[in-house]
Amino acid sequence: MKKIYLIRDAKAEDFSEGMSDFERALRKKGYKELKTIGSYLHLRGISPDIILSSCALRAQQTALELSQRVLFEGEKLFLEELYYPPYDDIISIIMAQDKEHDSMFIIAHAPYITELANKLCSENIAKIPPAGVVALEFDIGDWGELELQSGSLDFFIYPKQFKYYMPKQIRAVLA
């Protein structure tokens, strides 16, 4: 059994004159979103075997913040190929991963991360919001066996779900 956690980068700064999209950093709100999502993942005992992230600044910051929240100290790869790629390029990257890795975080951008989720499972996800996580399970033993529509949805979470109800364990971490 293999698991992929598709994660959209958290809320970033707006464009400003002279700044490229690639250089946009996380906002304070983005860090707050990651604190909530990271606490949820940690409480569920989720920590990947590897993190693959776009090398855009906001994605790198998302990866580093989440890795701290889930106590991950393993390999993090920041790949230019995950900065606005077509879904089939991301699938090629996934399929090339070591079969010893049973789970991975993939941190990328909208709309590509949503497109990838919809290609990998039969669920129809309209949009993964900032800091949203789609967890997919695959009944395979090697990443090279990955096929389109073969994943089953484990969960789909995003920060606004916790706006009106937040489990006390998460609330305690955020206090």
Q: Output phi, psi for 106, to 5 deg.
A: -120, 120
Please list the residues that pair with 104 across neighbouring strands.
4, 50
Pairing mode, if any, of strands 75-79 and 50-54?
parallel
Instruction: Estimate the share of the chain in helix, then strand, then coil, as percent rounded to the nearest 5.
Output: 40, 20, 40
pLDDT tens string 107-139: 999 999 999 999 999 999 999 999 999 999 999
The Cα–Cα gap between 17 and 45 comes to 42
What pLDDT score does 169 carry? 66
The CATH classification number of 2-11+22-174 equals 3.40.50.1240
What pLDDT score does 171 carry? 64
Contacts of 82 by beta carbon, 8 Å cutoff, 6+ apart: 52, 53, 54, 55, 59, 90, 93, 106, 107, 108
> Which tokens is 139 given?
């009944």
What pLDDT score does 15 carry? 77
User: Above pLDDT 70, what percent of the chain?
Assistant: 93
* Ranges of the chain whose pLDDT falls below 50: none
Label each residue of 31-61 as H, E or C.
HHHHHHHHHHHHHCCCCCCEEEEECCHHHHH
